[in-house]
Chain A
Amino acid sequence: MGRTNLTIVLTFVAIFIILPAQVRADQPYYGGYESGSLTTASKVLFNVDFAGTTSSEIPSSKWLGGVLSVAGANNTSVTGYVYQSLIVLWNNDGVTWAPQAYYGGSQHHYYSRSVGSGYYVAFYGRIDIGSGNATYKMYAYPSEEAFNSDQPAIYTWSNTTKSQNFVVGTQYYDGFLIKHLQFGVESNERVTETTWYESNSQISYYNGSSWRYNAAYSTFGNTSHITWTPDGLRWLVGGINYDGVNRDLTDANLVTWKYAGSTLSDGTQLWSQTGTVSDRVSRPYQ
């Protein structure tokens, strides 16, 4: 091999060594966010439903999760804390609830517990904040009878925290749109082996007098900025996009995510309505 050829080969070897070194280890996420101007909230809530998913087709090494994420703040100044309520469907049809919080890439608190099965008719995840505590609630309705009579099992997990309240809505920071209240689907690895469905509905925040929702838009997992820390770092939910996720159904305050192979465009409007939540059950809002 001549010197010229050798030079060219070495150059490309160098390129291939340098570029992959920038890849981060993140989780696939596709979500939606509540639009609107920045406002404070003391409670946030969402509903998760896995209807239409055949859990046995999810590989046992993977999981399918519905996740609600919200930024912590002191009044309207973000603290950098992110609070999440994760509801996971497993291959054995079990459902795990995992409330957790992060600050600056480190986990602040975590708890997980089985709360039911994929056949349950509704799981409501709620996060409250105040008096120095973050309080996570899970309302599990195992049957239509339990749902119609509003008789859930209620699991609550509480831990200390340093944010006084949440912020919802959006704002710009460092040229990026920060989406403070997000909902969506996340996995440890993309579940591509089955056409799965995961519905998010009743996404709302309590503003001191009512549970409200705003128009919502989709977000990729690599544009899902939710907050920033005092050192200027921006924080994404997930970190990489969940390619192949599309919407199966949308309505006011409702989206059913579907693994379809084609990916919904970033920033697609999911619903345009804004208002006060109405629901057949009342316990999750009390």
Chain B
Amino acid sequence: MIVVKKSGDEEKKMERRFLIPTIAFALAVLSLAVYIASSIDTANAREGSVPALTPLEIRNPEVATKYGITGYLEINSAPDTPSSLTITGNETSITFLLHFVSYLPNVTETQVTLDPSSGLGLSIQQVYSGGTINVNDIVSYNVSRTITIKSGEVVPVTLTIHKPESFPHGISFPAGPVGIMANVPIIDNTEAFMIG
């Protein structure tokens, strides 16, 4: 058997011969990839998406701040609030806890407006066989119209439900923090049903 052994110079020559086309091919592939990537980038740069957010995302600063959210106002019922309350006498009250969470160090407080008659914020109506209960018309808060809540602070506010003389007996209706407005998202966790 005859063995032909290439010298070291020949091996280097062969490698060089293949090296140039390989580099050219690699550069062509890279150029194509960059072109495709920049095309995608251009298309993406000309469009964006609108999300649909739940409290899960609003409470997540990594997600929320992507959409320019600087913090949120969370409203809970006081811990001892039953889910169903019967109005005895002329009025009854529910305490809500307002909690402001800031995502930015320079946003240290938020202004909150409480005005059930403003037409802004939450309104609640319950339709029943004899008509409609407008909850906003029969409630009031124990605090002034505008309050300031600092980041991390929990402020209790009391909503009093005044029972009109003509109020239907035995009708159940939802109650909640009506007429509350803030310049941050509001997460309303309250759930209370009143029975007139």
Asked whether, in the complex, the Cβ of A86 is within 8 Å of the Cβ of B67, the reply is no
Residue of B nearest to A239 (CB): B49
In Å, the complex CA distance between A104 and B122 comes to 26
Asked whether, in the complex, the Cβ of B52 is within 8 Å of the Cβ of A65, the reply is yes
Asked whether, in the complex, the Cβ of A151 is within 8 Å of the Cβ of B129, the reply is yes
Q: Is B51 close to A, CB under 8 A?
A: yes
Asked whether, in the complex, the Cβ of B47 is within 8 Å of the Cβ of A236, the reply is yes
Q: How far is the CB of B83 from chain A (nearest CB, A)?
A: 11
Q: Is A279 close to B, CB under 8 A?
A: no
Asked whether, in the complex, the Cβ of B127 is within 8 Å of the Cβ of A14, the reply is no
Number of A-B contacts (CB under 8 A): 181
In Å, the complex CA distance between A154 and B127 comes to 8
Q: Return chain B residues, CB-CB under 8 Å to A26.
A: 49, 51
Asked whether, in the complex, the Cβ of A151 is within 8 Å of the Cβ of B128, the reply is yes
A150-170 vs B, Cβ < 8 Å mask (1 yes, 0 no): 111111111110000000000
Among A4, A14, A25, A65, the most chain B Cβ lie within 10 Å of the Cβ of A4
Asked whether, in the complex, the Cβ of A18 is within 8 Å of the Cβ of B47, the reply is no
Main DSSP-derived SS at the B contact region = mixed
Asked whether, in the complex, the Cβ of A4 is within 8 Å of the Cβ of B48, the reply is no
Q: Is A114 close to B, CB under 8 A?
A: yes
Report the contact-size class of chain A (Cβ under 8 Å from the partner).
35 or more
In Å, the complex CA distance between A2 and B58 comes to 53
The stretch among B33-41, B104-112, B150-158 that forms the contact with chain A is: B33-41
A212-244 vs B, Cβ < 8 Å mask (1 yes, 0 no): 000000000000011000001111111110000
Partner of A174, one of B30, B46, B66, B176: B46
Q: Return chain A residues, CB-CB under 8 Å to B69.
A: 107, 110
Q: How far is the CB of A176 from chain B (nearest CB, A)?
A: 8
Q: Report, nearest first, the 6 A-B pairs whose CB atoms are least far apart.
A: A239-B49, A106-B68, A110-B185, A156-B123, A113-B188, A11-B26
List 14 extra interface pairs beyond A102-B51, A110-B185, A236-B48, CB under 8 A.
A7-B23, A27-B52, A29-B52, A96-B55, A100-B185, A104-B48, A105-B48, A105-B49, A112-B187, A154-B124, A155-B176, A156-B123, A156-B124, A158-B119
Interface residues of B (CB under 8 A from A): 15, 18-19, 22-23, 26-27, 29-30, 33-34, 36-37, 40-41, 44, 46-58, 66-69, 119-129, 173-174, 176, 181, 185-191
